[in-house]
A and B are shown apart, each in its own frame.
Chain A
């Protein structure tokens, strides 16, 4: 397995999807079965490789970058093809590879208009390359390219397969008539591009100052205090904009409810499960270790924005009538917990953020699958018209109930630990940070859990319980089919498994996080 460990394994995980996409491009559009089979095989192989990577990984030294390689790539600017994973990126990489397979399985017989499986599956595969690449990249240029690569497929997914309801943008006397999907896709694209422009500037500035794009090298420099003063402040600000839009943090979040609601089911799933994590991962991988002093200075800002996001997102959820939009807004709150953990700059808090990312990926991904499947059957997402789902679709209803409980942070399921540990981190933040301020954000977070319980239970009451409306009488309702169950079962199992034994994640992350905090803040 030497070939695997010396970089080929990770390279395959990143580029095999592109090879698959290319091959699918050669198959005629009419040959749908072959297209589906090939994309399934490709994503399955990639997922299997990511599992192999997890087994080849040496957890005894999870702080070190492993299975790595460095090849000269663009010598003129000093950028190398440097990839590798440590205990922090491993769980996210596996999550990304597995959720992509499940998306392909789910897609098997669930197509949003205008259908076209060929184009859709090609986009999924390109998306996967971008996501996997971001998690293994150890060079800023490489990271940036992968980070941006995910934009295009998602933009097309939303813009083409998205919600075709007409909408009007009103600004005083100005009116723009468009479609939800067009508005949402452009908003998503421009918003993210806006953030990443600043991020790119920050990366360039870093390399001018540090003389390299290599992330581990920059981390070493950062830890020894190479970047300080106004320079560091501006660089951090640039990165902050890039990552915070992606997370998204309040008030840069408004692309999210629109994009999520308009996106086709699989698009929402991948957006929630993986894409949002690219932002929070960027904070942990790049911003904090390279600019520790700036991270410390920005921590209160991040904590306050996170706390606002938690409360704001939860309150916004309470006002929603559209089930999918409610789930979308819940991400604002949940990612608030992830960012609160990061803001504490403590070992507990950063561990919390990573397990929180994984849990949110699994649980919210599942919620979007369910919302999509329900929309498929009811042709509405308006909760006032739903109701009695447990009677009409008992399997889907039961899984929805379970997942909603997981989402509200029920102990014993995956979502609990991230929230709980975030609160612990915020209670005792890194020394030097304002304890009272952080305890205030902790209380806000704890109140957020109450509001979360409120909107989730309320959603269940409106959607799942009660007698079905007379409207659905005579409609033949098909409960979850085998493709849906196959796509959801692994997520359900993971929700329980991580809830009972969170070491599945922390066993990988903890040593790496301890080393990160020690290097950045002199542990």
Chain B
């Protein structure tokens, strides 16, 4: 199972400005970010021979061939896992470059989540949401904020997790966003402001929810031995895995609402990497909602189930703390490009390009994906070749 350990590297990263309001198309944003990632890697656009665009999204492989002049694309794939897609795509890309199917795989997202179709409209079009559309939308459950709220409420009832704990995630993430600069939310947020924000779907208030924003992001995955000859320092993928929960298309029918696919992905990825949560210098945790971060930290083994609330308090997850998380501002404060910005930020941290948000001596970190009713993915990445 450890055959993929260190075989692939993230060789290029690129992102557009994150905004609310754009006249550009989702495809244009996706291509703009892709060209930046290609430049960051120091390769020619025509060197791309694998393409994994976010789906359902803006561009498909045909668009990349047409726009980038790719002569011989050897892999076109979709990973329909919602917010778990981007990190799961690292696994597919790693397999492709490790086996020689591809030289450089481009993973990309382009999104007009603010200026285009909004979340409740978009999700009804996902084939994975067919059951939710038939059985849950008619009773008034459309959006992830509603569908995931019941699990958060249950965690609060069973373990005493509080609104104060949820606020800590929002406030810490905002502090990090302000250091980054390329963010939608650039004003400080207090615990009081969090508590005063309007209720969306109890227990989620406005500031517990990720942003609807416009932007594009892209990363390039290259075989580690090839990546060492490229422009930027090597950041290798030590371990990567995806996982799918029971009752994957309906949270309602899942025996344990709090069992995410990450349970399975984490066990696999840590085994492949040969490291554990205690070894991490930094963590980028998929933050569609504040609570989702707390529960994923439990699943990853940073603390036990039920202890996630107290665990994140007292500065532990802020810069300078024991486990800095979402050092870019995440989906809550930077922008919503389905977590590809989390992969980009982990790469920056491990290159030492974190700027004002740089975690000192960051050598090992992880990034999670979560979505599509509970699919999960985890990548563990390291500075340098494995």
State whether these chains interact. Answer: no
Interface residues of B (CB under 8 A from A): none
Interface residues of A (CB under 8 A from B): none
